[in-house]
Structure 1
Amino acid sequence: MSAALPTFADLAARVAGGVMSRPRIAIIGAGSSGMAAAAEMLQRGLDPVLFEARSEPGGIWGKDPLSALYPDLVQSAAAQLPLSHAGAASWAAYTEQCLDTIKRQGLASRIFTSTKVLCVTPSLYDGGADLLIASASQAAAPLLRHFEHVVYAGGLYHTPQLPLIAGGANFAGRIIHSSDVRDLSRFVGQRVLIVGLGNTAMACAARLFPVAQQLVLSGRSPTWLVPRLLHGSPIDVATRALKETFRHSYQARLWDACREHGAIGHAVDPSSHEIDVGRQRITVSDSMLGPVRSGMVPLRPALAQVDQRTVYFVDGSSCEADVIVCCTGYRSQEILAEGSEPQQQLVGNVLHARYPGLWFTGAPALWGSPAPIAKKQGRLIAHAIDMGWGRDELAQAVRPYVNYDKAAARLPFGFEVADFSGYAHMVDQASAGPSGEPAPLAGDPVDYAG
């Protein structure tokens, strides 16, 4: 897919030839979020370029070896892409949808692959930011370019986050991250402990259960393991229907539905009925419900410490383990230059409150989104840039929906909205024209062919 796309060498040549003096919008990352934002901008006649560190677009789903995810992961991220079909997507299916999006949206000449943005130096005064751009292989001198607007769409899944485990230095086995669960032959006949009870943990558990001698799951927070379908509908659709129909007894009815379908609660008192998706984590897994319910895969509380081959939990229990798989997420990628303040609020969940012209999109959902949030965020960013909005104008536009404009705990991944439908509605209203209809497009997009 990357053969026809320009690279850093092409970028350097275009800069030397003066061609790159025109684009004023840089998008960091050519995954689903970056391409969705670029597509929305093109529809408004804006002129973005995208910088992708990998050798091909597609973000975490690309087949490039830089991807930290395991190849057979299946999620619903394809719903983020414009013109794509919502639903579960495999690696191959998502790659094809990326190619389809690039062709349909005219993005081919705007995506510079194998091109890494080393840091972003935003300006407090004249807006925009300076980007230090380099070849992913570091084989050529980097470039320093200024853009009026910079959209960070680099995603979250770059650097695996391994927790500090007490006694880990004395552990005689292996402590690995979930992204290393690739070659299953390394786990045959092994006693495996999985740290975490989220969707990634259950995906790893489903892969390792048939080959491991022993499999144990450990979680530190209240979690419900639920089936994919409730009353024949996907879990997110079913929960929304229950909330809309039974507003005052929603929690109790959701608990009854989940219990009827074999849901399992971990470290939660079932009699409390505390299973609200806004407060309790829900992990969806059909394949692991049976093994967990039968006791073949025991659930343990948080990990306390480890010794040679023994793992101890906070309740005093223990088990033997040869491998500890940490499904503990990823660290945020720091992109701001040293001296910039990393702790800031995002206006409308997209605009840096301190630096004008520094935007963020594609922040991860809590456990899945009923709406293509990346496309919505891209629409809001494109509309705000097209209208010349700054912080105050954007804040005014989203003020009626202040509940969906939450403070970012950390940059660039402070997206903490639980009500995705409400956030999507806010974006539609904030980016609408005076008549309430979507804002008119600005004519034919610029054909940036270099």
Structure 2
Amino acid sequence: MGEGTTVAVIGLGALGLVSLKNLAEEGYVVTGFERNGYVGGLWNYTEEDKTSVLQSTIVNISKERGCFTDFPFERDVSSYPSAAEVQAYLLNYVDHFKLSPNIRLNTCVKQVRRDQVRNKWALDIEGAGPEHFDKVVIAIGMNSIPNIPVVEGIESFGGVCVHSRAFKRPDDFVGKKVLIVGLGNTGADTATSLIGYAEEIFIAHREGTIILPRVVDGKSLDHSVNFRLTKLQDFMNDHFPDFAEKNLNKFVKKIQDKAFTIDPKWNLSPAPSLKQSVPVVSDTLVTAFESGSVQPVSALRKVVQENAVELADGTHLAVDSIIWCTGYKTHFGLVEDEYDPTKRTTAQWAASRGSNGKPLPRLYQNIFSLERPDSLAFMGTVAFPNPAFQIYDLASMALAQVWKGRSSLPSRASMEAAVDAHHEWVCGLARRGSVYPGIVKPQEWMRWVNEAAGTGVDEYLGYGWKGWAFWAREPRFCNLLMTGIYSPHVFRVFDGKKKKWDGARLAIERANEDVKMKKVKLL
């Protein structure tokens, strides 16, 4: 199955583009719908009230690890690309794989509903009649609805109060006393971008965080992660989960403390476990804390006057601007309720303090609709410490193979049970603190996706006969894959269900050579 089967991909940010490409290369007749006049989603800077990067944004993961599996960044792009360079990369991706004929811009899908008579999905298009498809991939909804906490007295606040989605220009806050709510990567970027513009900058947090640099001693921090270390961590997570969690937290904190001197007065420790959160990656935030340019404060409790707030520790601050860096709610409202995976969020999740008012989608492997796994899938609801481009490249490769019949799904009852067990685990994390609803167990999800996509990685880099045969035949290259940069191209090296990329080996060798020849420099 594949040839002649029609698929609609709704949303053409990075996740939608890679889904469109991976399905098209398996023979599906794919049409991508994008309501904007451009592809790339949030990577395309816009001053409109839409989710986008800042003009000053630099990615938090190196290009060597953060690219798609069969398309590296250009060699002259810095190791940590700017947002504009990532957007150019995505446009080059479209051109390289000749995706333009499959793309329809300025086309708004108002609703996705099941046409039982035709046994197809009907897409209601704004300004046009419905169009019908055999299968649908929803690649929007993750970063469209701002998540704004309910704060006592907020209606009396007299100043500017916006979500980070609406924050575009720091010079709009010249002379302002700004309170940023949320110490994640968005909060850190927002705070440091305001330096030199705002009179005072406060960043409120309730749980602390780990802060990591992008580069240590001229070497990208993420280049120290290799395939062998990842497999060792997977083994520890499988067999000694508590020890593995504690050891990872301790190891990463050592990296932080070697790079930065963290003042106890900032209350960053104890930080949430890396099992359920990601560190802040910033080369300038600690310096800003040290200089007082940005002041870390405790969590926002309530608004007490039109220009004053009270914090959790009882402190009162005079502020005239609040910026919510509190993330987004997953929203799949364009899918009719029967098939919307966010409509069955459990009371257990909603009652957990770490849910933060966000829904918890019910999806098998955080991808497949439980009601229609053979024809409805969602991209954007898988999260763990790994590059997002790589995650969704693999997810859409697996999706293509499942829908093609080369890989299978368990029964509906088994999938429901798996989701129940997974949600029980997620709720357990949420009782400890904040957690992203799309979180998965890395080792389990990666084993599943490698098998479903047919990458061959676990076989050829494992300890079975294929692994030993590969090592005997290619010892130098095998060692490079195991101990060199953990390149996304490794998933296209071997024969398997998915399409092999003949350029994967050269790309991996070139990336390792490039980082040895020169130290990484930031923009």
TM-score, normalised by the number of residues in structure 2: 0.68
Residue 212 and residue 386 in structure 1: after superposition, are their counterparts in 2 closer, same or farther (change >3 A)?
same
Which residue, 92, 100, 105 being the options, matches 1:100? 92
Which moved further from structure 2: 426-435 or 98-107? 426-435
Using the TM superposition, give the Cα deviation of residue 394 of structure 1 relative to its aligned residue in structure 2, in angstroms: 10
Q: How many residues align?
A: 406
Partner of 1:431: 453
Using the TM superposition, give the Cα deviation of residue 231 of structure 1 relative to its aligned residue in structure 2, in angstroms: 5.8
Residue segments in structure 1 that go unaligned for 5+ positions in a row: 1-21, 135-139, 443-450
Partner of 2:316: 318
More helix by share: 2
Find out whether 1:308 has 2:316 as its counterpart. no
- Alpha-carbon distance in structure 2 between the residues aligned to 1:48 and 1:76: 32
Mapped contact 2:202–2:295 kept (Cα < 8 A)? yes
- Alpha-carbon distance in structure 2 between the residues aligned to 1:350 and 1:123: 22
Using the TM superposition, give the Cα deviation of residue 125 of structure 1 relative to its aligned residue in structure 2, in angstroms: 10
Which moved further from structure 2: 290-299 or 181-190? 290-299
- Alpha-carbon distance in structure 2 between the residues aligned to 1:335 and 1:375: 24
Partner of 1:379: 397
The correspondence of residues 415-430 of structure 1 with structure 2, limited to 5 A, is 415-419=438-442, 423-430=445-452
Using the TM superposition, give the Cα deviation of residue 63 of structure 1 relative to its aligned residue in structure 2, in angstroms: 4.7
- Alpha-carbon distance in structure 1 between the residues aligned to 2:221 and 2:23: 33
Mapped contact 1:156–1:330 kept (Cα < 8 A)? yes
Which residue, 255, 258, 271 being the options, matches 1:257? 255
| Letter paired with 2:71 | L
Partner of 1:25: 7
Using the TM superposition, give the Cα deviation of residue 149 of structure 1 relative to its aligned residue in structure 2, in angstroms: 0.9
Using the TM superposition, give the Cα deviation of residue 216 of structure 1 relative to its aligned residue in structure 2, in angstroms: 0.8
Find out whether 1:351 has 2:351 as its counterpart. no
Q: Once the two structures are aligned, what percentage of the paired residues are identical?
A: 22
Q: For residues 105-144 of structure 1, what are the alpha-carbon distances to aligned partners after superposition, in whole Å with 9 as ceiling and x for unaligned? A: 121111010111111224799865222122xxxxx3x321
Q: For residues 272-329 of structure 1, what are the alpha-carbon distances to aligned partners after superposition, in whole Å with 9 as ceiling and x for unaligned? A: xx66421454111111111213544322121011122111011111211011111112
Residue 386 and residue 396 in structure 1: after superposition, are their counterparts in 2 closer, same or farther (change >3 A)?
farther
Q: Secondary structure at the match of 2:123?
A: strand
Which moved further from structure 2: 185-194 or 62-71? 62-71
Q: Secondary structure at the match of 2:210?
A: strand
Q: For residues 186-212 of structure 1, what are the alpha-carbon distances to aligned partners after superposition, in whole Å with 9 as ceiling and x for unaligned? A: 211111111010000010111112221
Find out whether 1:113 has 2:110 as its counterpart. no
Residue 338 and residue 175 in structure 1: after superposition, are their counterparts in 2 closer, same or farther (change >3 A)?
same
| Letter paired with 1:354 | E
Find out whether 1:216 has 2:202 as its counterpart. yes
Residue 259 and residue 323 in structure 1: after superposition, are their counterparts in 2 closer, same or farther (change >3 A)?
same
Q: Secondary structure at the match of 1:97?
A: helix
Partner of 2:517: none
Which residue, 43, 54, 59 being the options, matches 1:75? 59
Q: Secondary structure at the match of 1:30?
A: coil
Residue 245 and residue 210 in structure 1: after superposition, are their counterparts in 2 closer, same or farther (change >3 A)?
farther
Using the TM superposition, give the Cα deviation of residue 244 of structure 1 relative to its aligned residue in structure 2, in angstroms: 7.2
Residue 206 and residue 369 in structure 1: after superposition, are their counterparts in 2 closer, same or farther (change >3 A)?
same
| Letter paired with 1:327 | C
Q: Secondary structure at the match of 1:223?
A: coil
Q: Secondary structure at the match of 2:161?
A: strand
Which moved further from structure 2: 306-315 or 367-376? 367-376
Using the TM superposition, give the Cα deviation of residue 414 of structure 1 relative to its aligned residue in structure 2, in angstroms: 4.7
| Letter paired with 2:100 | A
Partner of 2:335: 336
- Alpha-carbon distance in structure 1 between the residues aligned to 2:291 and 2:84: 34
- Alpha-carbon distance in structure 2 between the residues aligned to 1:433 and 1:284: 30
Residue 163 and residue 414 in structure 1: after superposition, are their counterparts in 2 closer, same or farther (change >3 A)?
closer
Residue 366 and residue 124 in structure 1: after superposition, are their counterparts in 2 closer, same or farther (change >3 A)?
farther
| Letter paired with 1:173 | G
Q: For residues 331-358 of structure 1, what are the alpha-carbon distances to aligned partners after superposition, in whole Å with 9 as ceiling and x for unaligned? A: 3232221454533532222111122311
Partner of 1:207: 193
Which residue, 36, 39, 47 being the options, matches 1:54? 36
| Letter paired with 2:18 | A
Residue segments in structure 2 that go unaligned for 5+ positions in a row: 237-242, 345-360, 428-435, 460-494, 501-523
Q: Secondary structure at the match of 1:392?
A: coil
Which moved further from structure 2: 303-312 or 253-262? 253-262
Partner of 1:227: 213
Find out whether 1:362 has 2:380 as its counterpart. yes
| Letter paired with 1:104 | H
| Letter paired with 2:334 | I
Using the TM superposition, give the Cα deviation of residue 382 of structure 1 relative to its aligned residue in structure 2, in angstroms: 1.0
Residue 213 and residue 235 in structure 1: after superposition, are their counterparts in 2 closer, same or farther (change >3 A)?
same
Partner of 2:137: 151
